[in-house]
Amino acid sequence: MSTEAGRADDGAGPPQVVIADDQALVRTGFRMILAADGIEVVAEAADGEEAVAAVRRTLPDVVLMDIRMPGTDGLEATRRILGPDAPPTRPRIIILTTYDLDQYVYGALAMGASGFLLKDVTPEHLSAAVRLVRSGDALLAPSITRRLVERFATHTEHTTTLHRDLSTLTRRELEVLESLARGLSNAELAARLHLSEATVKTHVTHILTKLQLRDRAQAVIAAYETGLITPGSASSPSTG
C-alpha cells in the first residue's frame, strides 16, 4: 500500500513483532509468514488488553493490530500503547482490517498508527510492511488515505483531531508537507522542489518536530485536517 514498500529496513537485527488478532488462524499464518522472512514474533494477543500487556512486556519494534476485536478493541489498544502515559519506548503500529474504508482505521492513524494493511495482504507485502514501518516510514496509499479523510475526518466520534498550528512552518516546509500529503515519495519531492533527498528528509524531520507528529502518517492526516489540502483536490502523481 505504500509507494515505498520495497525499501530496505534501516534497523539493526531482525524486527521484533507482536501480533494482535482474535482469530488464532490469522495469528498463526502471519507468524509463519514473518518467521520465514527472518522476522521474530515475540508475542501474540487475542484482544486489545492482551496486546497492551504484550507490548509492555516485550517492547517490540512493530505491532500488527487487528482493529476489531472483542472486549478491548484495536483502537483503544492503540490509544493506550501510543498515548502520553505510555512507556517512552513505543512500537510502530500497523492496523489490520478487512475494509480499506474503515472509520476505526482513520481514528487509529490520527492516534499515531503508522499505516494499515488489509488482512488479505500477500506474504511479500506483509514482511515488507513490517520492515518499512520499523525503519521509521509510514505505510500509506495516498489514494486510500484521501478517501478515508474525505469520508471520516469531519464526522466520526472515533477521531483524535490533530489540531496543529501550521504558522510554525516555513514556506518551504509547507510545500513539502503539501506534496507529502499528496503522496510524493522523497525522491519525487526532491525532483519537484529541486532539492537533494537528504534535504527533503531534513525538511520532513523539521515538520514532524514542529507539529509534534509521530511520522508521515500523522503528517498526512494533519495536512487534511488543517485544511492545507482538501479531499477531492488534485490527485497524487504517485501510485497508491
CATH number at residue 203: 1.10.10.10
User: In terms of residue numbers, what domain contains 218?
Assistant: 166-225
Residue 3, pLDDT > 90, answer no
Residues 121 and 34 in one domain: yes
In 8-131, DSSP assigns E strands to 16-20, 40-45, 62-66, 92-97, 115-118
For residues 118 and 37, the model is more confident at 37
Q: Are 65 and 94 in contact (CB under 8 A)?
A: yes
Helix axes 171-181, 186-193, angle to 10 degrees: 130
Residue at 1 is within a domain: no
- pTM, whole model, 2 decimals? 0.73
Question: Are residues 129 and 21 part of one domain?
Answer: yes
Q: List the beta bridge partners of residue 116.
A: 95
| Long-range contacts (CB closer than 8 Å, 24 or more residues apart) made by 186-195 | 188/237, 188/238
- The total domain count for the chain is 2
Neighbouring C-alpha atoms within 13 Å toward the C-beta of 131:
21
Q: Which residues contact 77 (CB under 8 A, 6 or more apart)?
A: 20, 48, 49, 51, 52, 65
| Same structural domain, 94 and 190 | no
The answer on 171 and 134 residing in a single domain is: no
Mean pLDDT of 66-72: 92
pLDDT digits (tens, 9 = 90+) for 83-122: 877 777 789 999 998 887 677 888 888 888 888 888 888 9
Q: What is the mean pLDDT of the chain?
A: 82
Residue 207 lies in a domain: yes
